[in-house]
Amino acid sequence: MLATDALLLSALLLAVVPPAPPQAAFEAEWRDWHAKRLAGLQKPQGWLALSGLHWLKDGGNRLPGHPGLFTVAAGKVTLTAAVGDGWTLGGAPATSRVLASDRDGKPDRISVGSRTAQVIDRSGKLALRVWDAESPVRKGFTGIDTFPPDPRWRMVARWEAYAAPRIVEVPSVVGIPTREQAPGRAWFTLDGKAYALEPTLDGDALFFVFKDKTAPRETYGAGRFLSTPLPGNGQVVLDFNRAYNPPCVFSPYATCPLPLPQNVLPIRIDAGEKNWGNH
């Protein structure tokens, strides 16, 4: 086992799983979570403001409605623009610059008017992602329907850690899979039957993409997301009340992951966010 794998497994074992809060506290915590979730969506560069996704080819790319030239060479994107084109980075004019992508989590975000853009990297395929703070979707957003919060759907699952994280290919709505690390499986019981979900690692958290029998009529047909703290003492909390919609619910310009086959559940999870819009 690699040293990094050993450190990861140690972190999984040492984390502490908090007990379930009393009913009133449970509902208050959920309302706070839900309010923060909606606030995040409505940020000027939140998913509601996503307004464009332009896949780039090798060589020069001129994008309709976006000034300047975006040149792809050796896996990098260089912006070449005039001062009058209006692109800025950190408040200063951006005229000739190699744009850091989101590959390492620190992308350059350039702005012009109400729009902000960055380069995204999906398994080596590069695109320019664009947000518009004046997006009609953002401006007209009124919230998301949810199932009523219910402590029944906050489950303490048994964590089955793998000897070392395994590499899985996670499919996506744009047809480009990504390679992620899956550290184990979370086993939970519903109505006397056991079910398992396999998450991937997302920094210091577990990230679940799952689909259940509420889809597609009540919840988004492609599935929902759930993020949890790392397991502790062989357990992980699955609070399905905090299951949330992927960005693809709000915009056709997202690159959402899809559930692994083993994460398509043959049961209803009557908790979390419901579908939104015309999906």
pLDDT band of residue 13 (cuts 50, 70, 90) is very low
pLDDT band of residue 18 (cuts 50, 70, 90) is low
pLDDT average, residue stretch 106-128? 97
pLDDT band of residue 45 (cuts 50, 70, 90) is very high
pTM for the predicted model, two decimal places: 0.88
- The alpha-carbon radius of gyration of the chain (Å, integer) is 21
* Three-state secondary structure call for residue 22: coil
Do 245 and 273 contact (CB within 8 A), yes or no? yes
Do 53 and 253 contact (CB within 8 A), yes or no? yes
Q: Which residue's structure tokens are 């398992």?
A: 196
| Residues recorded for the chain | 279
- Convert the pLDDT of each residue in 210-227 to its tens digit: 999 999 999 999 999 999
Task: Say which residues have a Cβ less than 8 Å from residue 75's Cβ, sequence separation at least 6.
Answer: 124, 126
- Convert the pLDDT of each residue in 66-96 to its tens digit: 999 999 999 999 999 999 999 999 999 999 9
Q: Which of 154, 229, 175 is nearest to 55 (CA)?
A: 175
Q: Which amino acid is at 143?
A: G
- Convert the pLDDT of each residue in 140-182 to its tens digit: 999 999 999 999 999 999 999 999 999 999 999 999 999 999 9
Q: Which of 136, 176, 173 is nearest to 247 (CA)?
A: 173
| Domain edges within the chain | 3-42+143-263, 47-139
Return the structure tokens found at 70: 């975006």
pLDDT band of residue 19 (cuts 50, 70, 90) is low
Domain 47-139 indexed as CATH 2.60.40: no
E strands within 86-232? 88-89, 92-93, 96-99, 110-112, 115-122, 125-132, 154-170, 178-190, 193-197, 200-202, 205-210, 224-229
∠ Cα 29 35 40 (to 5°): 125
The rounded distance, in Å, linking the Cα atoms of 12 and 174 is 32
